[in-house]
Amino acid sequence: MRGFALAATLVLACTAHETRAEWFEDTQAIMGTRVHAELWHDDPAVARRLLEAVMTEMRRIDHTYSTHREDSELSALNRAAPHGWVEVSAEMIDLLSRSRRMSELSGGAFDVTYASVGRYYDYRAGRRPDDETVRKAVEAIDYRHVEIDADGRRVRYRHPAVYVDLGGIAKGYAVDRAIGLLQSAAITHAAVSAGGDSRILGDRFGEPWTVGVRDPRHEGQVSVLLPLVDTAVSTSGDYERYFDEDGVRYHHIIDPDTGRSARSSWSVTIVGPDATLTDGLSTSVFVLGPERGMALIDRLPGVDAIIIDSDGKLHYSADLQPLAEPAR
């Protein structure tokens, strides 16, 4: 179970107020994952319109930043930027700049150029690059190869084999955009999730929302339940996109130093103020592993983590320990 354990139980029919407000929700397959949004409103027509606007925004972000689409802005950038400056949108500058800050914060564990090697994995087909391909392509992994001219709104790559993928931050960003849209429509109780990235607005009428951290080795089971209010939460796990070969798991979170799947965690859950941050941090801490990852989280005020290491042991950041309840 991922994201919200709660969706099905949240259809409250009426309120303590005079109005006939209720929960409205929608779930769609976007960005290669399950996008879910729910909100509390007293006007069904307005609620439906807002949910549609959320899904439209999610689709826009997918169309702009997917590397699976030849016609996305990111694919155009990947084709042209190894050869020189490319004009990009202000939003692309913003996303690449945020990614760069996450790289600096994580000492390079988060690196959107991971895809210079990552592009050679096909998890569905069970294909991975051979050692020689990894050895060569790993040289192109370095976030400093992506030169951002924010004033000139242009980008170039400083190495010919650089390939950028924003998969480590785009879902969180999309969730934040959706929440921003709901906030500007004066919504005060809502939840939006895209795969493992979620954000909650408000509470459930005096009660916290309950978010389950999935058991990384038993599908359908939950390791920890987190009561949360007005916050973002992201989980990165090695069970999302992977294949097993000769007892080794090849999965989608790549250590930029080696070009191979990061090995020291099974899953990382981050709780923090916004989903772009928690998304980037969940990927970063996954790569860093329990010790260095928790040291990073301890330096960040208002951010917490649950790390399930590669022995299945749970590590909590200091503030989260009393909040989290074992699910079993």
Residue closest to ligand AMP (Cβ): 167
Our finding on whether 265 is near Mg ion (CB under 5 A) is no
Nearest alpha-carbon partner for 198 in 180, 211, 215: 211
Which residue is associated with the tokens 């709780």? 271
Minimum distance of ligand AMP from residue 300's CB (angstroms): 17
Compute and round to an integer the Cα radius of gyration of the chain.
20
- Give me the amino acid identity at 91: E
Minimum distance of Mg ion from residue 97's CB (angstroms): 17
> Which one of Mg ion, ligand AMP, none is in contact with 110 (Cβ closer than 5 to 8 A by kind)?
ligand AMP
Q: Which of 283, 303, 308, 324 binds Mg ion (CB under 5 A)?
A: 283
DSSP state of 15: -
Residue 299, classified by CB atoms within 10 Å of its CB into exposed (0-12), middle (13-18) or buried (19+), is exposed
Specify the residue, 167 or 216, whose C-beta has the smaller distance to ligand AMP: 167
Our finding on whether 78 is near Mg ion (CB under 5 A) is no
Residues in the chain: 328
Specify the residue, 38 or 279, whose C-beta has the smaller distance to Mg ion: 279
> Which one of Mg ion, ligand AMP, none is in contact with 129 (Cβ closer than 5 to 8 A by kind)?
none
Of 185-193, 200-208, 273-281, 317-325, the window that binds Mg ion (rule: CB under 5 A) is 273-281
> Which one of ligand AMP, Mg ion, none is in contact with 196 (Cβ closer than 5 to 8 A by kind)?
ligand AMP
Residue 294, token pair as written in the block = 């928790």
Contact 269, 306 (CB under 8 A): yes
> Which one of ligand AMP, Mg ion, none is in contact with 259 (Cβ closer than 5 to 8 A by kind)?
none
Specify the residue, 99 or 223, whose C-beta has the smaller distance to Mg ion: 99
**How far apart (Å, rounded) are the C-alpha atoms in residues 264 and 267?**
9
Minimum distance of ligand AMP from residue 240's CB (angstroms): 6
Our finding on whether 282 is near Mg ion (CB under 5 A) is yes
Greatest alpha-carbon span in the chain: 68
**How far apart (Å, rounded) are the C-alpha atoms in residues 74 and 91?**
11
Our finding on whether 111 is near Mg ion (CB under 5 A) is no
Contact 224, 324 (CB under 8 A): yes
Binding site for ligand AMP (CB under 6 A): 110-112, 114, 118, 165, 167-168, 196, 236, 240, 252-254, 256, 279, 282-283, 286-287
Contact 90, 153 (CB under 8 A): yes
Nearest alpha-carbon partner for 117 in 182, 78, 165, 57: 165
Minimum distance of ligand AMP from residue 168's CB (angstroms): 3
Q: Which of 62, 165, 255, 279 binds Mg ion (CB under 5 A)?
A: 279
Which residue is associated with the tokens 């992201």? 234
> Which one of ligand AMP, Mg ion, none is in contact with 66 (Cβ closer than 5 to 8 A by kind)?
none
3-state secondary structure of 76: helix
Residue ranges in contact with Mg ion by CB under 5 A: 168, 236, 279, 282-283
